[in-house]
Amino acid sequence: MRTKQTLPIQGFEIESIATPGIFHPVMGQFLLLGSVCLFLPFLASGHMIHYRSADPSASLLNSQARGPTTSNISDIFVGRCEEHVQCLQQDQCNTNTTLRGTCDQLWGTFVDAFAYKDPCQAGNDDYDAVIAAAMPHANKDESLFWSGLPKLALNNGRVTGRYTILEETLPGYIANGLTWCGQTGAPGINYNTPCPSAYSSGCANETMYTFWRAASRAFARQATGTISVALDGSRTNPPAFRNTSTFATNELPNLNTAAVTHVNILLVYDISVKGDNRRALCDKGSIKDLQTLLTDRGFTYTCIEGPRGFKFLQCAGDPDNARCVEACSFAVIPNASIALVLAASLLIKLVTGVRN
Ligand code: NFD
């Protein structure tokens, strides 16, 4: 018999299988023993288990080789804009659209921000008109900021619908994953050579990151109620909370202290990291620094180590990972074993005449 239970874990539905009928004191104990596997992963708590290794030395931030401006960027830009405005990807329409004017006009405003300009000489306010025409928006209590978890944060928003990240709002949705930069000569947009990164020397005022900073500031300003921030609790260098991150430098300072009531810190652990993946903890190191910053600004906070929704999302992509085998569903006992157990139970019942 299959029963569906909805557990209060970030909106996930967990299906459990209950076997009907036969129960015997002896076999019951046997089954009870078998069910100890339910708790094994908790006992192991990640210390003794070895998994597919992640490369801890790979720096997320510095491994960003850029190409030239994305080809057909105007079509993609306008197409994504239309898609967002018309809510064509229904499961992703969890934010109100905020477009002023048309998508073609928004493209024009966007191009004006960087075309025919040196890509390393962007002004801080170059994209203000773009953001004003396409303000990010999230419902009260649903703004989710992230550092170090771009894919997981986006997946979380899409699957649960409980949070909204910048990349789901109009400006973030349009620009996410695109590359663009200008050049002083015609045609004003560089489609041929790699766009410089803000990490390159002499390019601190790089145009793409200027856009993201502007979008991040606007996203922070609109947040109301409880906000959440998901941090990579399995990385050490940089630490989970990096005080030079966009979250620290552009989002945190722009939260409206009158509108934001509480900050929910989500320390997400990477299931692919071998050994102890709980490298950051709520009451230690960089998270302590973050908490001090929050307190200084008058915010109350909670901090969750290993929020389960984020773990289950990772498990969906890697279901055989031992960290994911938490519930000892009967599926882990081969069918033949179940048949044997049931047959033995019946036999004992017949011999002993025990009534169930
Ligand atoms: P991260 P975060 N210079 O994982 N967001 O807190 C340059 F050039 O460390 C979204 O910084 O988290 N680039 C996007 C930087 C980009 C720098 C930026 C820097 N000093 C910000 N620092 C996006 N979707 O592309 C960070 N970056 C770039 C918003 C770099 O490309 C998100 O809504 C790196 O891969 C989120 O709330 C990416 O930012 C927060 O700011 C993320 O760096 C994540 O920025």
Q: Is 232 in the pocket of ligand 1 (CB under 6 A)?
A: no
CA angle 81, 86, 91 (to 5 degrees): 100
171 lines ligand 1 (CB under 6 A): no
Share of the chain above pLDDT 90, in %: 64
Closest ligand 1 atom to Cα of 247: 6
For residue 200, what pLDDT is reported? 83
Residue 167 Cα: closest atom of ligand 1: 24
The 10s digit of each residue's pLDDT in 240-264 is: 999 999 999 999 999 999 999 999 9
The answer, yes or no, to whether residue 349 has pLDDT greater than 50, is yes
Query: Is residue 160 scored above 80 in pLDDT?
Result: yes
Evaluate: CB of 166 within 6 angstroms of ligand 1: yes
Q: What's the whole-number average pLDDT of the chain?
A: 80
From the CB of 148, is ligand 1 less than 6 Å away? Answer: yes
- Measure the CA–CA gap between 169 and 218, rounded to whole angstroms: 11
Question: Using alpha carbons only, what angle is made at residue 91 by residues 88 and 95, rounded to the nearest 5 degrees?
Answer: 80
Among 81-90, 107-116, 331-340, the range scoring the smallest mean pLDDT is 331-340
Could you tell me the two tokens for 79?
Answer: 């197409």
CA distances from 226 to 142, 145, 148, 219, 341 (A): 7, 12, 21, 14, 50
- Please state, in angstroms and rounded to a whole number, the distance separating the CA atoms of residues 27 and 341: 8
Specify the ligand 1 atom closest to the Cα of 246: 11
82-91, 103-112, 196-205, 267-276: segment of lowest average pLDDT: 82-91
**Whether the predicted pLDDT of 17 surpasses 70:** no
Tokens of 328: 């000892």
Does residue 47 carry a pLDDT above 80?
A: no
CA 161 / ligand 1 centre spacing (Å): 22
C-alpha of residue 118 to centroid of ligand 1, in Å: 21
Give the Å distance between the CA of 250 and the centre of ligand 1.
10
pTM value is 0.78
Q: What percent of the chain has pLDDT over 70?
A: 72
Q: Which atom of ligand 1 is nearest to the CA of 197?
A: 8
- CB 199 near ligand 1, within 6 Å: yes
